[in-house]
Structure 1
Amino acid sequence: MEGLVNTVNGIIWSPALIYLCLGAGLFYSIMTRFAQVRLFGEMIRLIFKGKSSADGISSFQALTLSLAGRVGMGNIAGVAAAIGFGGPGAVFWMWVVGFLGASTAYVESTLAQIYKEKDVNTGQYRGGPAYYFERALGQRWYGVIFAIAALIALSMFLPGIQANGVVNAVTQVIGEGTTMNILGAEVGATRLGALAIILVVFGIIIFGGIKRIATVTEFAVPFMAIGYIVLALIIMISRFEMIPQVFGMIVGDAFTAQAGLGAAIGWGVKRGVYSSEAGQGTGPHAAAAAEVDHPAQQGLVQAFSVYVDTLLVCSATAFMILTMGTYNIQGTLPEGQYLVQNLVAGTEINSPAFTQMAMESVYGAFGNIFIAIAVFFFAFTTIVANYYIAEVNVVYLTRFIGPKANRIGLFLVKILMMVMIAYGALNSAGYIWAIGDIGVGLIAWLNIVGILIIFFMARPTMKVLKDYEAQRKAGVTRYTFDPVKIGIKNALYWEERHLKEQQALKSDLLRKDAK
């Protein structure tokens, strides 16, 4: 099975997908005239501007929900893996993916807002790639394929990575504990205890719906991200003289990496896409749930979330590991052989071990414990975000069948995710990461190809950006969006909303005239 997984992984993550991710980011950066730079200040302003409603969550809640998906094991264990297999230069390519990917995140999240709709059962906003492929491309079959692929990836392939990272971080601190025989496998008591806590808390949250999910992520994500970055900054300040050297390692190895140019780019882009989720098609689900006045607003907020994830949290991890020298570089060599060996042989690369050792070298036992706590919150909130994405795609597939099909589908996804969390927690890290990479690569292929086709068919996101910037230049007090006016078809929610706003405005004018 492991051999099959690795073979499929190699096919999906061929150089073609790596170049597609980088190329799409560069293309959209040029087309938007580098909106991720030009409108950086506007991104910050918009984060705290929107408010939630009965139908949708606030822009900030949508940001933290998407960050819950982005800030996870990819930021702690994924960065370690990129360095361990691709050398320090892989970090440079993660930065490139983050910078260029911010424009891709704008495009896919704006599309999600344009073509969102209200859930017929709950009245809440739903949207994402499946919805915009059906509405913008006019090809429901492509939306169905994406929804099925996303369900498989988010409920089966990806939860195991996060669960595996949590239990590995906990056992790194307090050990495996007394071993028990579970279905023929020897499992430590610590691992089982950590798994039990994950499953109980996960169940409580996901059975509470989107509002409870958003509330949890709104609190947990900023708290842990800020604490994590602060501790990383303290490490960097304590070894200030190492910073120029670390920068030199990252930039220098980006093109002449010890593990080879291909390994640095490949691992940097792979882990960059996994961590930032730009182009992956997962972030748009949270973006569509936001209550905003104009689709471009949430697109810009989601673009900023890529910066937070890759340029802040991932960089914090990379600088900790490289500054303290707590890494091995295996590159493309067989397992157990290293190009650079600073740690004992056998230190797990696809795990939080490098990061924990860096923290422990400065903060002692507290550093090790803090990373375990950070991994728990980062990974746990990612599992919750993954569930929400799976839920949206179940709703998409069952929305015309009926409420009963919807309830059965959602219940089955909850159970399936709990099973896969348990499976991931009790299996080896390398194998679980390979399965996760298949899920990420599969939906990334479908999403990036789809949004490029949409761009060349109608350029809806460019029209929306132009409309938003025109209103911003005019200094309007409240933004409005009329898709018909700017030539966008099938944006049914926004068409209906604009019509209601116009009718309300006419009613107000008639009342004033009558007075």
Structure 2
Amino acid sequence: MEAVVGWLNGVLWSSPVIYLILAIGLVFSIMTRFLQVRHIKEMFKLMFQGKSSDAGVSSFQALALSLSGRVGTGNIAGTATAIAFGGPGAVFWMWTIAFIGASSAFIESTLAQIYKVKQDGQYRGGPAYYIEKGMGWRWYGVIFAAASILAMALLMPGIQSNSIALGLENAFGLNKWITAIGLVILLGVIIFGGVKRIAKVAQYAVPFMALGYIFLSLIIVVMNITELPAVFALIFKSAFALDSAFGGIVGMAIAWGVKRGIYSNEAGQGTGPHAAAAAEVSHPAKQGLVQAASVYIDTLLVCSATAFMILFTGMYNVEKEDGTMLVNNLNGVEAGPAYTQAAIESVLPGFGAGFVAVALFFFAFTTIMAYYYIAETNVAYIFRGKNNTWAIAALKIILLGATMYGAVKTAELAWALGDVGLGIMVWLNMVAIVLLYKPALKALKDYEEQKKQGIDPVFDPVKLGIKNADFWEKEAKPDQEKVS
């Protein structure tokens, strides 16, 4: 079993696949004329526009919901691992993949808005929906939905809850069973309240956790401000083999920076579009631009906060492929949250373990919330037109069970199986957005033309020749006519 799972992961997450995702992002950047630069002001402006409705959430709530999935333990552990095996130069390549990946996030999130539906009184959408509506392949959408449910509801929650339980046990000596029971109760209250409650919790929790984490990193940077020129020089020199110590591992810097950047910001992976589809907007490109900004927030802000804390304090190791150490500042310390903990401890003694435990709690808990929402959306897709009450109830029980089990057990196989499920999602979604990108480009062009005319853009798929955008043809049109 483990051998088969290992082989699948080797195929699904091989280096060629990682670089293919990077190449696709670069092509989309060129096709959109680097919207991530041209529209950066618009991205952040749109975040705070629009309101929620009975069927949908506001743009900011959708952003918070997607960020709750993007900003997770990978921002702490993943960034540290990238530095450990790719050196400081890996940070530059994480920034690069965020910049390029923003265009992929725009394409997939705009597609989610174009092909969303109003189902059971609320907006639903995501890869399964745009695969069926845009490509006409219901079977393909079902495969994507099944992979999503398996990964998001059964395999991945336990990984996140295990991180929470370990962090709280190490920092405060809290028994894992107490953590498990507390997590299940708190999570149950939120997910049984539906998508609106999930969005509201994310709306407050995500900014709080991200800003708090970034603020602490700024304190550490200020306390080591004399190191600022040297750290930036180290990052850029290491990224381009100009540093004598790290010049020999520039290939690893690129590989680990790209890998961890993609894992962290999830651009093009098919997770963000689920939240994007739930937003109440007058034009799909609006939420596409907001979700492009979420990639920047995840990597350029939160991942950078981790990187700066580690590099400014020198609390890291760098290991070559053959196992020899290039840097050994933390002898015997495993790459991961311990680097961040050591960095904080070196500046604020007695504070590191507790802070990292609390940060892991918020990062991982909100990620489990996002997992549930993604899984629920795909259950709703499979059972569309049928009574899905029992399926949604079963999903909640399964996810809560997986969360409890993961908190008290260490399941290495679950990590591998989760990566397989996520890997299948990525493959299916990347194929879909490569085949379906044209409607998203049409939407972007239409949005830009309306903005030039000085009007608030309104979407009309018929005028643009986009077929099967049923919501915008039937549901949105009457509302837009009332507004005008």
Check the 8 A contact 1:168/1:352 in 2, yes or no.
no
How far did 1:279 drift? 0.4
CA shift in 2, pair 1:450/1:379, >3 Å: same
Q: What is residue 450 of structure 1 aligned with on the other side?
A: 432
Distance 1:199 1:497 in 2: 37
Cα shift at 1:421? 2.3
User: Does the CA contact (< 8 Å) of 2:60 and 2:203 recur in 1?
Assistant: yes
Correspondence for 2:44: 44
The answer (yes or no) to whether the contact 2:240–2:247 under 8 Å persists in 1 is: no
The answer for the alignment partner of 1:397 in structure 2 is 382
Q: After superposition, give the CA deviation of every residue in 1:458-478 in whole Å (9 maximum; x if it has no partner).
A: x101110111011101001x3
Partner of 2:393: 411
Pick one of 327, 340, 347 that aligns with 2:327. 340
Structure 2 distance, partners of 1:483, 1:424, is 45
**Conserved 8 A contact 1:85-1:259:** no
> Structure 1 counterpart of 2:471, which letter?
Y
Question: Is this contact kept in 1: 2:147–2:422, CA < 8 A?
Answer: no
| CA gap 1:168/1:325 in 2 versus in 1, 3 angstroms | farther
Residues 5 and 60 (structure 1), Cα distance of their counterparts in 2 relative to 1, 3 Å cut: same
Q: 3-state DSSP class of the match of 1:481?
A: coil
Secondary structure of the 2:169 match is: helix
Shift of 1:372: 1.3
Partner of 1:89: 89
Pair 1:462 & 2:441 matched: yes
Cα distance, 1:502 vs structure 2:
7.0
Corresponding residue of 2:140: 142
Q: Residues 244-323 of structure 1: matches in 2 within 5 Å?
A: 244-256=229-241, 257=246, 260-323=249-312
- 5 Å-filtered alignment, 1:181-196, equals 190-196=175-181
Residue type at the aligned position of 2:334: E
Structure 1 pair 313–502 and aligned structure 2 pair: CA distance change class (3 A): closer
Q: 489-498 or 375-384: which moved more?
A: 489-498
The 5-angstrom pairing of residues 1-400 of structure 1 reads 2-119=2-119, 121=120, 123-175=121-173, 190-256=175-241, 257=246, 260-333=249-322, 338-345=325-332, 347-349=333-335, 351-400=336-385
SS of the residue corresponding to residue 365 of structure 1 reads coil
* 1:489 corresponds to: 467
Q: 1:208 to 1:79 in 2, by over 3 A?
A: same
Q: Distance in 2 between matches of 1:262 and 1:192?
A: 43
**Structure 1 position 253, deviation (Å):** 2.8
**What's the CA shift for 1:344?**
3.1
Q: Structure 2: which 5+ runs fail to align?
A: none
Distance in 2, Cα, partners of 1:277 & 1:407: 30
Letter in 1 for 2:67: L
Cα 1:432/1:270, change in 2 over 3 Å:
farther
User: Which of 400, 425, 445 lines up with 2:407 in the alignment?
Assistant: 425
Give, as a single letter, the amino acid of the residue that structure 2 aligns with 1:304: A
Distance 1:224 1:432 in 2: 27
How big is the shift at 1:272?
Answer: 1.2
CA distance in 2, matches of 1:435, 1:260: 30
Shift of residue 157, structure 1, vs aligned partner: 2.9
Deviation at 1:371, TM superposition (A): 1.9
Q: C-alpha distance in 2, partners of 1:245/1:129?
A: 44
Identify the range of structure 1 (151-160 vs 495-504) with the bigger mean alpha-carbon deviation: 495-504
The separation in 1 between residues aligned to 2:361 and 2:54, in whole angstroms, is 31
Instruction: Name the % identity.
Output: 56
Structure 1 regions of 5+ residues with no counterpart? Answer: 176-188, 509-515
Larger C-alpha radius of gyration, 1 or 2? 1
Structure 2 distance, partners of 1:432, 1:241, is 44
The change in CA–CA distance for 1:352 and 1:434 in structure 2 (over 3 A counts) is farther
Per the alignment, residue 452 of structure 2 pairs with 473
- Report the count of equivalent residues: 480
Any idea what the Cα deviations from partners look like across 1:340-384, whole Å, max 9, x if unmatched? 322131x332x4211112112212223331221111011100100
Matched with 1:513 is: none
1:283-314, Cα deviation, whole Å (9 max, x unpaired): 00000000001100000011111110000000
Per the alignment, in what secondary structure is the counterpart of residue 279 of structure 1?
coil
Shift of 1:262: 4.2
CA offset digits 1:293-340 (Å, max 9, x no partner): 110000001111111000000001011111112222334345xx6443
Q: CA deviation at 1:51?
A: 0.3
- Cα 1:201–1:248 shift into 2, 3 Å: same
SS at match of 1:329: strand
After TM superposition, the score normalised by the length of structure 2 is 0.94
For the aligned residues, what is the CA RMSD? 2.1
Provide the rounded CA distance (Å) in 1 between the counterparts of 2:320 and 2:413. Answer: 17
Cα shift readout 1:384-404 (whole Å, capped 9, x = no counterpart): 01100000000000113x21x
Preserved contact between residue 87 and residue 258 of structure 1 (Cα < 8 Å): no
Q: Deviations over 1:9-50 (max 9, x none)?
A: 222111221111111111111111111110111111111111
Q: Tell me, in whole angstroms, the C-alpha distance in 2 between the residues paired with 1:429 and 1:108.
A: 32
Distance 1:154 1:77 in 2: 20
What is the CA–CA distance in structure 2 between the aligned matches of 1:16 and 1:204, rounded to whole Å?
A: 42
Distance of 1:166 and 1:258 partners within structure 2: 37
- Cα contact 1:94–1:310 (8 A) shared by 2: yes
Q: How far apart in 2 are the matches of 1:252 and 1:429?
A: 39
The answer as to whether partners of 2:376 and 2:392 remain within 8 angstroms in 1 is yes
Tell me how far 1:440 sits from its aligned partner.
Answer: 3.0
8 Å CA contact 1:169–1:375 kept in 2: the answer is: yes
Deviation at residue 426 of structure 1 after TM alignment: 3.9
The alignment's TM-score, normalised by the length of structure 1, stands at 0.88
